Copies of this chain bind each other. A is one copy, B any other.
Amino acid sequence: MKLPEAKAQFIQTWGLLGAQWGVNRTMAQIHALLLIAPEPLSAEDIMGGLDISRGNVNMNVRELMNWGIVEKVLVPGERKEFFIAEKDIWKVGTAIARERKKRELDPILKVLLQLNKVEGDPKDKQVRAFRETMQNIQKFAHQTDSALNAFIKSEENWFYSTLMKVIR
């Protein structure tokens, strides 16, 4: 396989992976394109490289910047804005974990906290069973939360070590 073909393949695979990770496909593809670009790319480069519209580029690049894995750079002598991707894959990984945690785990932790305060006779089997289920889920969610926080904080060798601690 030659380089251009390999690049195209990577962009497409990264896009598919992103889609399954709850990242929109185009956003992941833009990230891939920037990740393997030797130079900063302009909005137009991205439009051309992926064959997508200007608005689409704008929207997704903005989101990538929100996630903290792409940034704007200014190229001397150029009026346009250029973009580069974070190349340290660990940082990319932790950024994704952070975003997902924010979107996914934090809200349920909040609701679970409410739900095991459900009113009712503690002698009622139904009430007891419900509370127990909620408490179990809460414990699980908290463990996951701890593991993710440790991951986000750690710079190296994250999940394996944390996970071992939590599971053990």
Q: Which residues of A contact B (CB under 8 A)?
A: 1-3, 6-7, 9-10, 13-14, 16-17, 20-22, 35-36, 38, 87, 89-90, 93, 100, 103-104, 107-108, 111-112, 114-115, 117-120, 125-127, 129-130, 133-134, 136-137, 139-140, 143-144, 146-147, 150-151, 154, 156-168
Q: List 6 A-B contacts (CB under 8 A).
A: A2-B119, A21-B22, A35-B133, A140-B158, A143-B159, A156-B167
Whether B127 and A3, one on each chain, are in contact in the complex, defined by CB atoms closer than 8 angstroms, is yes
Quick one: closest B residue to A139, CB to CB? B162
Partner of A143, one of B1, B114, B162, B164: B162
A107 to chain B, nearest CB (A): 7
Determine the distance from Cα of A108 to Cα of B18 in the docked complex, in whole angstroms.
Answer: 11
Residues of B within 8 Å of A89, CB to CB, are: 136-137, 139-140
Q: Report if A104-B21 is in contact (Cβ < 8 Å); known contacts: A130-B6, A133-B35.
A: yes
Chain B residues, Cβ within 8 Å of A162: 139, 143
| Chain B minimum-CB-distance residue to A130 | B36
By a CB distance below 8 angstroms, the chain B residues around A126 are 3, 38
The answer on a CB contact under 8 Å between A3 and B120 is yes
